[in-house]
């Protein structure tokens, strides 16, 4: 979170809507530990990361959808052999659980 505070502050000063995605759990091998955070503003501009670059694209899409709806946030899972979620995964074979929510607090 520390590394994305400056960007978030900047976007807040411009009254941009912001979604924050945080790693809440990993199963097996995962590139980033719980707490890794990424912020996406309403224009799709990104700060921070939640994996080694494997799932960030899908996180942006999910974050923009949440900002465009009245969702209070949702859990999203990305994994190599996961049929339910997106067709993206971690090449290391792990599963990462993210919570993505609008920054309205």
Partner 1 sequence: MIYQTLAERIRTNKPVVLLTVISGPNIGATLLVSPKLGELEKLGTLGDAELDRVAMRDALGELEAGRTSVRNYGPTGQVTPEDLHDTPTVRVFIESFSPPPQMIIFGAVDFTAALAKVAKVLGYYVLVCDAREVFATKRRFPMADEVLVTWPTPVLTARGSDLGPRDAICILTHDPKFDVPAIQGALATNVGYIGVMGSRKTHAKRLERLTEVGVTATADLDRLMSPIGLDIGSRTPEETAISICAEIIGKRVGRAIPSLSQGSGPIHK
- Give CA–CA dist 95/69, Å, rounded: 26
Query: Which residue carries 């993206």 as its tokens?
Result: 88
| Among the listed residues 10, 74, 91, 93, the single contact to partner 1 using CB under 8 A | 74
**Element (DSSP H or E) covering residue 10:** helix 5-13
Residue 10 binds to partner 1 (criterion: CB under 8 A): no
Structure tokens at 24: 């809440």
Q: According to CB under 8 A, which residues from 20 to 59 bind partner 1?
A: 22, 24-25, 33-35
Q: Which is nearer to partner 1, 6 or 91 (CB)?
A: 6
Residue 75 binds to partner 1 (criterion: CB under 8 A): yes
Q: Which is nearer to partner 1, 3 or 91 (CB)?
A: 3
Cβ atoms of 40 and 46 within 8 Å: the answer is: yes
């Amino acid at each position: 979170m520390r590394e994305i505070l400056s960007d978030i502050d900047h976007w807040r000063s411009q009254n941009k809507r912001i979604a924050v995605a945080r790693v809440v759990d990993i199963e097996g091998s995962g590139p980033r530990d719980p707490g890794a955070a990424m912020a996406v503003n309403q224009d799709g501009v990104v700060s921070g990361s939640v994996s080694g670059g494997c799932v960030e694209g899908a996180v942006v899409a999910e974050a923009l959808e949440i900002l465009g709806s009245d969702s209070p946030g949702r859990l999203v899972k990305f994994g190599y052999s996961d049929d339910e979620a997106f067709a993206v995964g971690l090449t290391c074979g792990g599963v990462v659980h993210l919570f993505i929510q609008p920054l309205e607090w």
